Homo-oligomer: A and B are copies of this chain.
Amino acid sequence: MPEDPTRVYFSFFNEVGIIAQLSRAMFEARMPEGMLLPHFSVLNHLIRVGDGATPLKLARAFQVPKTSMTHTLAGLEDRALIRMAPNPKDARSKCVWITDAGRVFRDKAIASLAPDIERLAKAFPAGNLEAMLPSLEAMRKTLDEDRSA
């Protein structure tokens, strides 16, 4: 019974959409007033991948329009969690550096999320998720390339 394949895609994207929504809400419930998931995501990225990248690089990494990244970075800079310096290699451009306060914030945020993760882990062991990661990455890349094409 080869079910209507279209249905499978719709179901998949529907589930993914709701999970994204709910997990984001869960994250943001732990954040201090005005701090949103994108703020945290950028800080996390700066630490994991390294800082000094340009806003455009970050926008591409997160697959958001550059105007959205500008907005997110402005919020982080206002709170002194990042610092924006002119790019010595390109005067049109900037470099984004995380500050000490930014590192502290990121660490605290992760710590504050621990209870949620732990609770989730009980119902949904990490190994279970890990198995899905390669497929999800593949799908993300497919959509990504499709978009650019």
Q: Is the CB of B22 within 8 A of A133?
A: no
Q: Is the CB of B121 within 8 A of A15?
A: no
Q: Is the CB of B133 within 8 A of A26?
A: no
- Give the total of A residues in contact with B, Cβ under 8 Å: 55
Expressed in whole angstroms, the minimum distance between the Cβ of A10 and any Cβ of chain B is 7
Copies of this chain, complex-wide, total: 2
Expressed in whole angstroms, the minimum distance between the Cβ of A97 and any Cβ of chain B is 22
Q: Is the CB of B22 within 8 A of A20?
A: no
Interface membership of chain A positions 107-149, coded 1 if the CB is closer than 8 angstroms to chain B and 0 otherwise: 0001001100101110110101111110111111011101100
Expressed in whole angstroms, the minimum distance between the Cβ of A28 and any Cβ of chain B is 12
Instruction: Tell yes or no: A25 within 8 A of B by CB.
Output: yes
Whole-angstrom CA separation of A70 from B5 in the bound complex: 31
Q: Which one, B6, B9, B19, B113, contacts A16 given CB within 8 A?
A: B19
Q: Is the CB of B120 within 8 A of A8?
A: no
A19 and B143 contact, Cβ closer than 8 Å, known pairs A5-B126, A132-B132: yes
Instruction: Tell yes or no: A87 within 8 A of B by CB.
Output: no
Give 17 A-B contacts (CB < 8 Å), ordered by A residue.
A5-B121, A6-B110, A8-B126, A8-B133, A9-B121, A10-B44, A13-B20, A17-B37, A18-B63, A19-B136, A20-B20, A21-B64, A22-B140, A22-B144, A22-B147, A25-B147, A124-B139
